[in-house]
Amino acid sequence: MSLTTARRGGAEQRRETGRLARPALLLVLLLSLALAVALSPAAAAASSPQPAQPTPSEGIEPPAGSGSFTPAPTPQPVPTSTSAPGSGERLFAENCAGCHGVSGEGFVGPPLAPAGFASLVGPMVVDGGINMPGFAGVLSDAEVEAISTYVADELAEPESREAEVTAGGDLFRLYCSGCHSSTGSGGAMPGLNNAPDIRRYPPAEALAAMILGRGNMPSFAGNTFDVRQQTSVALYVQAIHDPPSPGGAGIGFLGPVSEGAVGGVALFLLILLAVWLAWPTRKAVP
């Protein structure tokens, strides 16, 4: 005790007050942090009753003829070359029939029986697939829409239009997530023939993959899935194509591994802050 008393003096007082400056700084830091968090995605998801994600009408039953791929709703001038009635049919015959057959029965490209939704066909036509060319510069938005509607309404099998995204999700988790993961972000397979991130392709590519089978991936059409089920899976693939992530950055949708890595970053940050807080401040002490 005598030690304690003996060493009381002005020096320690100064040390203590010197340390008070840091909490003040800290407060400023925290306030700005709070502000940032208030503006963050997770908070936004919470403050709006409907999180930013596909609305039911978009996912389950797209109204026939309204391809969601159309970037702008402004009506495009109808091209003069296809002024004939039934332009969708004409355009299909000119651009697609060579590969998919006159009535979409399949030839170089797979059959279009499960392509019952214009919202699935549209992006496929615009972006193309692995062996299918994209028509981005070739066809106008209106033409793409006309073809998509035609394929979905006239060529695809009627039961394909009864597909439902929720049933597709169940099938996806049963048949696909074992290789592609439940988030669709892909997974490792023996021999480097990995199951890829399905978001790298337009959703209709899933139809092709299910029909054709790819590499290590078996074919699902016919033996495993009927047409309606194929379309359901594709609708689910479409729903998670731009994964609904109201909670902020998705960090690859790779599950707890990437979350653990980010948690490590948080811990490292806290340790840095501890070093800062414990950094000696007293320079003026004799």
Tell me which residues in 220-259 interact with ligand HEC (CB under 6 A): 220, 233, 237
By a kind-dependent CB cut-off of 5 to 8 A, residue 20 interacts, out of another protein, ligand HEC, none, with another protein
How far is Cα of residue 252 from the mean position of the Cα atoms in its chain? Answer: 10
Q: How far is the CB of 199 from ligand HEC (least distance, A)?
A: 9
As a three-state string, the secondary structure of 114-163 is CCCCHHHHHHHHHHCCCCCCCCCCCCCHHHHHHHHHHHHHHHCCHHHHHC
Residues 126-165 touching ligand HEC, rule: CB under 6 A, are 129-133, 135, 147, 151
Q: How far is the CB of 264 from another protein (least distance, A)?
A: 7
Residues 10-39 touching ligand HEC, rule: CB under 6 A, are none
Radius of gyration of the chain from its Cα atoms, rounded to whole angstroms = 29
Q: How far is the CB of 152 from another protein (least distance, A)?
A: 19
Told to check if 167 binds ligand HEC by CB under 6 A, we report: no
Q: How far is the CB of 120 from another protein (least distance, A)?
A: 15
- Other Cβ atoms less than 10 A from the Cβ of 146: the count is 25
Q: How far is the CB of 269 from ligand HEC (least distance, A)?
A: 37
By a kind-dependent CB cut-off of 5 to 8 A, residue 37 interacts, out of ligand HEC, another protein, none, with another protein
Q: How far apart are the first and last CA of the chain?
A: 24
Q: Which is nearer to ligand HEC, 14 or 214 (CB)?
A: 214
Identify whether the C-beta of residue 156 lies closer than 8 Å to the C-beta of residue 115. Answer: yes
Residues 257-276 touching ligand HEC, rule: CB under 6 A, are none
Identify whether the C-beta of residue 188 lies closer than 8 Å to the C-beta of residue 194. Answer: yes
Residues 193-222 touching ligand HEC, rule: CB under 6 A, are 193, 195-196, 198, 201, 204-211, 214-217, 220
Q: Which is nearer to another protein, 34 or 108 (CB)?
A: 34
By a kind-dependent CB cut-off of 5 to 8 A, residue 284 interacts, out of ligand HEC, another protein, none, with none
How far is Cα of residue 26 from the mean position of the Cα atoms in its chain? Answer: 37
User: Shortest CA distance to 9 belongs to which of 280, 279, 277, 286?
Assistant: 286
Q: Answer left, alpha or beta for residue 255, where phi above 0 means left and psi between -120 and 50 means alpha.
A: left
How far is Cα of residue 228 from the mean position of the Cα atoms in its chain? Answer: 23
User: Shortest CA distance to 197 belongs to which of 253, 248, 247, 246?
Assistant: 253
Interatomic CA distance for residues 63 and 106, integer angstroms: 26
Residues 86-115 touching ligand HEC, rule: CB under 6 A, are 95-96, 98-100, 108-112, 114-115
By a kind-dependent CB cut-off of 5 to 8 A, residue 118 interacts, out of another protein, ligand HEC, none, with none
Q: Which is nearer to another protein, 219 or 245 (CB)?
A: 245
By a kind-dependent CB cut-off of 5 to 8 A, residue 95 interacts, out of another protein, ligand HEC, none, with ligand HEC
CA–CA distances in Å: residue 68 to residues 73, 113, 159, 222, 231: 10, 20, 21, 28, 16
Interatomic CA distance for residues 157 and 154, integer angstroms: 8
DSSP 187: B
List contacts with ligand HEC (CB under 6 A).
95-96, 98-100, 108-112, 114-115, 121, 124-125, 129-133, 135, 147, 151, 175-176, 178-180, 189, 193, 195-196, 198, 201, 204-211, 214-217, 220, 233, 237
